[in-house]
Structure 1
Amino acid sequence: MGRLDAVRAARRGGVYLLGALLSAVGTVLALPLLCVPRLARWWAAWHRDRARRLLDPASGARPTLRAAWADAATGRTAGALLWLPVHAVTGVAFGLPALLCVGNIVVALIATPLWWAFPFVERPRLFIDVPVTGWATALTLGPLQIGLLAALAFVAFPPVARAHARICVAVLARRAGEELAERVAVLTRTRADVLDAHGAELRRIERDLHDGTQARLVAIAMRLAVARQAFAESPRDEQFVEGLLRDAHEGTEEAMAELREVIRSVYPPILADRGLDGALTAVVTRCGVPTRLEIGEFERVPAAVEAVVYFAVAEALTNVAKHSGAAAARVRVGRAADRLSVVVTDDGAGGADERRGTGLAGIRRRVLALDGAVDVDSPAGGPTTVTVELPCGW
């Protein structure tokens, strides 16, 4: 780990521990309210997601109370209720030292240049009980206290925060039977959605072929029949036959173009020609909002996964261009073990809602069909983050 990464880890650990202390105090104050099963599961789910995010920063979008509330529809009530007293104790035990460390750094930062501004009887104190009465004390003990406490935070915050996160994950871990029951419920629900989506897709393809391509092929056949009859009855009427053949030729090209569009809606040919990275590059290039594409290293993934990723990114960027008012967007694609993750973010106005027909529901249906997961984080005022995870280790 480089020095910059270590500094970031210390900062994340400090923020996590201070947040744990604050939420532990809130847990104690709101304990009667949090004993309601749904609220207990919601509170526990947010802490579990927060702990997992600390242990694995690349696991996905940042935890939100809104996502935790949706997750609280299922889960272990007993584990959530057990977590409340555990968190009340561990949050204070782990977070209070972090608060004292950060607080004394702040005291030293204020006392060193501004000790003289305090009343004589209320001079700031360094190293717990040493009053700052002159510049010599301020310029020696102040930087010393800042350096020692900063070094302590640099060394101690990451492992202490990870220890608390592991306790949280261990207490809130689902049992095998509960995970299986929840998985069955999710698969039952998504199977119905997939069947509906599959039926709708078949009807769309049938409608496109019937109303478009089939109509053009019938017209071509009629023109060719008329041309054949005209040629048989009047071989010298070349101009009339030529016009019919020209119309039939143009109709054939139009029918082929429509067929290509139908095929493209099932599996985009660009994926076969240029691969997933090339296809996504083309999508990003066509987006009306400046978009940065970041593609990590990943092996060949199944064609079905490629198609879902392509359509999900295309739909998400269409939403960005049409609805967000964003000035910039970013698409990140990466693989961890057997999971392919796609994160689309923009700096727009936020407030994306699947119920308003912005295409997010379509993305979710495609992803759930492959046993994947979708998370949409779009608070009012932005930014918006759409995270898609798909299994690719088949």
Structure 2
Amino acid sequence: HLRRAGRLLGVPVGGRVRGWKEFAWAFAHVAVGFPLGLAALICLGNILVAAVALSLWWAFPVEARPTLFSVFDVRVDDWATALVGGVVQIAVLGAVAWWVLPVLARVHARMCLAVLAQSDSERRLTERVDVLTKSRVGVVDAHGAELQRIERDLHDGTQARLVSIAMQLGIARESLADDPETVATLIEQAHETAEEAMAELRTVLQTIYPPILADRGLGGALTALAAKSSVPVHIELAGVGALPAAAEAVAYYVVAEALTNVTKHAGATRASLRVERAGDVLSVEVADDGRGGADEGRGTGITGIRRRVAALDGTVRLDSPPGGPTTLAVRMPCAQ
């Protein structure tokens, strides 16, 4: 009923009806729907009676012949009454069916919407649930892709170097008595390979949760990111304080990805970073004076930023007109 009423009135409806509205709809449907339906049935039924009386009145017994205009009870006993009365009744009731019944249908549809449609608060709640559901699905997909990337990095990088170390040390053990100089070279190579493996392992671990966040907090981590950027970055930190680990990690990722985009794609000469906490909301804004025209579909990492921020029920706004400047603004809850 709700969907049909929405289609009739051209009003979008959604959500499932629950609770007291189901009982309210049952009573309202009986109180309003029954008389409206009865009126439509009487109108259409009398059109059918007039059509039968117009053509077949003679086939009925004299005492059972049809009557027209129920209020006046006009009995059809001859062709003149049948033709005139039948045509008039069909015309009048046809006009009523054409103009009045649609009005009654819309009245019934409005009653349906008034009883069954979601309130503004229910609609906002439904929309929020839909958004959170989609964001959670995106986070699960992103988590799976991240695990695959970590496994690939460990397999192709760190594991391969550890295998190389094991082989070099095995050869050194076999050559220890016969060729000491070769052994020394192999041990030196194994030491270098071990250092490379540790560096790669640190890089992989930083993508999981940057250790600098635990050591220096979000402010220190963002300062380090800005210092590493090839584009000068002006930093403003306003009352950030202690944050949940999830909010810190997302904010760090957002800034790291944004500064990477500034360096690789923007052609900027300077950038600015502002991080501010207002109550339980953390705001992160990264701006640059580059060429603008940022396109999320070209692999600039904005999609990943949106996915991570949406997982915390946050919002992302990207303003990047052609010719610049570009501003990336993120707001996310950060209650402890």
TM score, norm. by length of structure 1: 0.53
1:200 aligns with 2:145: yes
C-alpha distance in 1 between matches for 2:189 and 2:266: 44
The match for 1:135 is none
Instruction: Indicate the residue corresponding to 1:16 in structure 2.
Output: none
Given that 2:231 and 2:269 are in contact with CA atoms closer than 8 Å, whether structure 1 keeps it comes out as yes
Residue 392 of structure 1 deviates from its aligned partner by: 1.2
Aligned counterpart, 2:31: none
2:310 to 342, 365, 368: 368
1:256 to partner: Cα distance: 0.6
Please state how far the C-alpha of 1:202 moved relative to its aligned partner: 0.4
1:186 aligns with 2:128: no
Higher RCO (C-alpha 8 Å, min separation 6): 1
Q: Of the candidates 292, 295, 298, which is equivalent to residue 237 of structure 2?
A: 295
Q: 1:353 aligns with which of 286, 292, 295?
A: 295
Change (3 A) 1:243 1:348: closer
Report the counterpart of residue 144 of structure 1 in structure 2: none
Change (3 A) 1:328 1:236: closer
- Give the Cα separation in 1 of the matches to 2:127 and 2:142: 22
Q: What's the counterpart of residue 217 of structure 2?
A: 275
Change (3 A) 1:226 1:380: same
Q: Secondary structure, in 3 states, of the residue corresponding to 2:324?
A: coil
CA apart distance, 1:376 = 0.9
The one-letter amino acid paired with 1:198 is H
Q: CA deviation at 1:254?
A: 1.0
Q: What is the deviation of 1:236?
A: 4.9
- Which residue pairs with 2:319 in the alignment? 377
Q: Aligned to 1:278, what secondary structure does the other structure show?
A: helix
Query: Is the CA contact 2:289–2:325 (under 8 Å) kept in the aligned structure 1?
Result: yes
1:19-60 per-residue CA deviation (whole Å, 9 max, x = no partner) reads xxxxxxxxxxxxxxxxx989xxxxxxxxxxxxxxxxxxxxxx
Check conservation: 2:136, 2:311, Cα contact below 8 A: yes
Percent of aligned pairs sharing the same letter: 60
What is the root-mean-square deviation of aligned Cα atoms in Å?
Answer: 2.3
For structure 1, which runs of at least 5 residues remain unmatched after alignment? 1-35, 39-73, 75-173
Aligned letter for 1:306? Answer: E
What does 1:170-185 align with in structure 2 at a 5 Å threshold? 175-185=120-130
Query: What is the correspondence of 1:232-247 to structure 2 with a 5 Å cutoff?
Result: 235-247=177-189
4+ aligned runs moved over 6 Å, structure 1 = none
Q: Deviation of residue 304 (structure 1)?
A: 2.1
Match of 1:262 among 204, 217, 223: 204
* Matches of 1:267 and 1:293, distance apart in 2: 22
Which letter does structure 1 place at the counterpart of 2:124? E
CA distance in 2, matches of 1:387, 1:277: 17
Report the equivalent of 1:318: 260
Q: 1:344 aligns with which of 286, 293, 308?
A: 286
> Who is 1:225 aligned against?
170
Q: Where does residue 94 of structure 1 map in the other structure?
A: none
The one-letter code of the counterpart of 1:240 is T
| 1:147-158 paired onto structure 2 within 5 Å | none
- Residue type at the aligned position of 1:175: D
- 1:257 deviates by 0.7
- Structure 1 residues 250 and 328 mapped into 2: Cα distance closer, same or farther (>3 Å)? closer
Whole-angstrom CA distance in 1 between matches of 2:240 and 2:300: 30
Q: CA deviation at 1:291?
A: 2.0
Gap runs ≥5 in structure 2: 1-9, 15-118
1:260 Cα deviation (Å)?
A: 0.5
Partner amino acid for 1:276?
L
- Cα distance in 2 between the residues matched to 1:37 and 1:264: 50
Local SS of the residue matching 1:349: coil
The number of aligned residues is: 224
Shift of 1:389: 1.4
Deviation of 1:374 after TM superposition, in Å, equals 1.0
Aligned-partner Cα distance in 2 for 1:207–1:325:
32
**1:186 Cα offset (Å):** 0.5
- In our comparison, the structure showing a higher alpha carbon Rg is 2
- Cα distance in 1 for residues equivalent to 2:305 and 2:146: 14
In the alignment, residue 362 of structure 1 is paired with which amino acid?
Answer: G
Q: SS at 1:388's partner residue?
A: strand
SS at match of 1:209: helix
